[in-house]
Structure 1
Amino acid sequence: MSERFDFTIHARDGKARSGTIRMQRGDIRTPAFMPVGTAATVKAMKPETVRKTGADIILGNTYHLMLRPGAERVAKLGGLHKFMNWHRPILTDSGGYQVMSLSDLRKLTEKGVEFRSHIDGSKHMLTPERSMEIQRLLGSDIVMAFDECPRADRPRDEIATSMEMSMRWAKRSRDGFDAGGDHAERAALFGIQQGALDEDLRKISAEKLTEVGFDGYAIGGLAVGEGQEAMFATLDFAPGQLPEDRPRYLMGVGKPDDLVGAVERGVDMFDCVLPSRSGRNGQAFTWNGPLNLRNARFAEDQEPLDSRCSCDTCGIYSRAYLHHLVKSQEILGAMLMTEHNIAFYQQLMQAVRDAIGDGRFATFADDFRCDYLGADT
């Protein structure tokens, strides 16, 4: 095993895989869900509480951290792990997605993206090389290559042009990462497949990324408004185009049933703001589907959020109390709801790993959808 990065597949069931990523800061059990810590915090949660839910790794956001407090400042303060008191692996996205979403605040060229900060209007230039430098300053364990993420509804020739540029940026990211000295000797670099919903474009993207060579491969350009049916249709072929012996990471996904469906199609890693954002807005995810705790029917409901959940929120507090906190806009409500949602996602991933290991994942997935969606799908 390499001390820097190693991925071992322990079990397979159909296309689904369970395994372990080993890194210097700890093991990551796959399939894995990474809570999103955009600005060096999973909103409404202490890092030690995030770990208690079962999370092995979290995600930090390059774009937001470069603007505030600044990558150089984080490095001066000892790196992101020390800064936020999270001492397990951290994956940082490249900043590309957030910059690309600022369509009226940025200018795209072959060199990179010039943009204005959404905070104070200051001008910045983000290139593959600068993205690698920022992630190195943060001390990221898994670094993401810099890419452009086009919408799936753009014309095919535009998607192809964007994909080709992202592949050139991937090579520049590889070179910039490798020039990172000690950081490159302990961190990993993931490439990002693009091509929207087009099988041929994604195949070309996968071939170019494989030629460059990465520790893992992300499936980018999904969960950007195309809908679950189109996403699953793309996942029917996209993971299989990527190297079999490397982790496959579906970026920005998603709802619990999205995760189960993606695992069925060979995906190993996920991240999404949904469980924390929904928790802050009064929605809880449960094994029997989502619950809106703003609903008056919970005002005198003394049951736990989810009788099958082992988190502290479900073990101590009633739906009636949570309803009161949510309706009163109390900070504690956001904290307890978020803790439950992150814990539920981790429990779901553990159940998925167990089912794959036992060779019963297809049955598990069908039963999960029946309970979660209320119908056998």
Structure 2
Amino acid sequence: LNLCSEMVDKCRTEILPWVEKYRPSKLEELISHKDILETIGRFINENRLPHLLFYGPPGTGKTSTILACAKQLYEKNQLKSMVLELNASDDRGIGVVREQILNFASTKTIFGGRFKMIILDEADAMTRDAQNALRRSKVKFTEEGLQHLVLLSGGDMRRALNILQSTAMAFDMVNMENVYACVGKPKPDDIRAIVEWLFNKDFSETYKRITFLKLKKGLALQDILEEVHLFVQKVEIPALVRIYLIDRLAEIEESLTRGASDKLQLSALIAAFHIARDIIEKEAIVTGGCKHAPNKVAMDPILPSLSVGINMPTATDPYNEEEVLFPVSSSDASRFLTSHLHVFALHLACQTFL
């Protein structure tokens, strides 16, 4: 069987036009265009071959160059399944793009997930509709991801497209997690947790948790302020408390724009919410209870019989105590202090500051 196949291939080769029979099979066999060939060869070696457009007069090596690339990228038995070549005699309408080209490109192969190659010889002969269809990008997305993309764009279409492009280029899927990772904004769950800390935790604990979250996720205090402001507008709290918090948030934001210290303004933010909590607790004492969301997120009461709550959705707490505290046990304390003395001293200083 192998002998018969070799004889058939030999007969086919003998009757081929010399243009095809002696066409170069490697980039090294091509003459001239050294700079172009070196660039393409580097792309192939680094396995990052981009989309390529060859142009020039007939007979200058455009088709020979791309066929040499294909033969250098794939084994002989892989060419039929990995390379689709459409020449000038083939149909170039939009139907070919929608069916033949897209189906070929979207079909997986058994050769290790390598990219496929589509060669469009004399691409200028394609219809305008077919060329436009090839330009369309196929972006995988989730509805939740698009909703948050619209939310983050703030009605700015240019910003929405920039975020969409950045996310699509950085990730395989445009979802909520990836959108927020690209823009560097705090996620809704993070803001819920921050507001819960601001209302329900003491000053030192809140400062430590927010600082940890900022460092862990690379968040800016300015972005946190903007999202906390939107959350304060929605959460069910007394009108007087809402007015006070919005006024203080505006002052803190202005201070940040003037170059004030992030640490100082974060402390001011926490202090503002502690004062707001005092206002709510005093109102609860006067009215004999809290009418704004009982049995929700309970705050530490001033009086043993008083329980004040803030009505907000359940938040997934992003703070992990194990990631902050240093693992020192009595058995290895000596070894730890010897090898991590500077870190341990810094940790103690932070605790003292907080």
Tell me which interval the TM-score lies in, with the shorter structure as reference length: under 0.3
Higher relative contact order structure (alpha carbons within 8 Å, sequence separation ≥ 6)? 1
Larger strand fraction of residues = 1
TM-score normalised to structure 1 length? 0.19
Larger helix fraction of residues = 2
Asked which structure has the greater CA Rg, the reply is: 2
